[in-house]
Amino acid sequence: MADISTQLSEYCNCTEFDDRDLQELISLVSRATCWAEDPSVLLQRGSSACQTFLQGERREVIDLPDCLDCVFEFEPMYRPFVLESFTFTLVEINGIEETSTPITTYSYSTLDGKFRIDLGLPSCGCACTTCGCKPEKKLLVEYVAGYEEIPDCLLPVFCNLLDVIHAKNKCDCNNCGCDSETEDVRYATGDVVTVQVETDLGKMVADLVTGELGLMSVCRIDSGIWAVIE
């Protein structure tokens, strides 16, 4: 996070913010852009409830068919990623037993951005039936993905978000008093764009803050606010 803090400090030179504001910004943007997954999915995968868009370890689990006539194609959900970080594991679940086999035969195509993986599964032209319950097969993909720095084209948006978040966080009973006194926000003459952007971003932040604790929720009844586990 140090690189992003430095990047924003240098670019948003008129924006005041602290570590608390930056942490909240990262969390909200991660929720808005789906880098932070749905709580029920996180619980199923045993993942952290604090995933963000910052570069870190990712995990995807794919249900597999019993047999394949060709190689299996996989397109990573998270981008950008570190190509050298990928590992593939074939997991076979048979009753209460679970067998994991590392997969080493695969290639990556820069033309369509997909991995082609030889899973070693039988051809569907052969007899794939077995007696009793069929083993369940899954592909576990682990890799590093995320942003070490914010893309240059998004820096103005992040600056506006920081303005909104910092204003929200600094106005409490210790700083602004409890007598409803507030400071007037001043804009350049004719600057209707910033006013509209900050109004829209403020509403977005308010909506996202409402659902922030959904990452920790274990509710089973939809209250209209927190996440629900199905």
List pLDDT tens digits, range 207-220: 765 555 455 454 55
Its pTM stands at 0.67
Q: Print burial letters for 139-172: b (CB count within 10 Å at least 16), e (below 16).
A: bbbebbbbbeebeeeebeebbbbbbbbbbeeeee
- pLDDT at residue number 209: 57
- pLDDT at residue number 160: 83
- pLDDT at residue number 186: 60
Q: What SS3 class is residue 7?
A: helix
Q: Kindly report which listed range (18-22, 44-48, 68-72, 131-135) carries the lowest average pLDDT score.
A: 44-48
- Where exactly are the structural domains of the chain? 2-53+149-216, 57-145
Q: Are 147 and 55 in contact (CB under 8 A)?
A: yes
In this predicted structure, the answer to whether residue 230 has a pLDDT above a threshold of 50 is: no
The mean of the pLDDT values for the chain is: 76
Q: In CATH, what class is 57-145? A: mainly beta
- pLDDT at residue number 217: 54
Half-sphere exposure of 28 (CA within 13 A, CB side): 22
79-108 per-position pLDDT tens digit: 899 999 999 999 998 888 899 999 999 999
Q: Print burial letters for 40-58: b (CB count within 10 Å at least 16), e (below 16).
A: eebeeeeeeeebbbebeeb
- pLDDT at residue number 137: 87
Q: How far is residue 132's CA from residue 53's CA, in Å, rounded to a whole number?
A: 44
Rounded (5°) CA angle 169-171-174: 105
**Closest Cα partner for 42 from 226, 216, 193, 208?**
216
Residue 26: which residues within 8 A CB-CB, separation 6 or more? 1, 4, 52, 53, 54
DSSP character string of 124-192: TTS----SSSPPEEEEEEEEEESBSS--GGGHHHHHHHHHHHHHHHH-STTTT-SS---PPP---TT-H
* Residue 228's pLDDT band (cuts 50, 70, 90): very low
* Residue 77's pLDDT band (cuts 50, 70, 90): confident
178-216 per-position pLDDT tens digit: 444 555 556 666 666 777 777 777 777 767 655 554 554
- pLDDT at residue number 124: 67
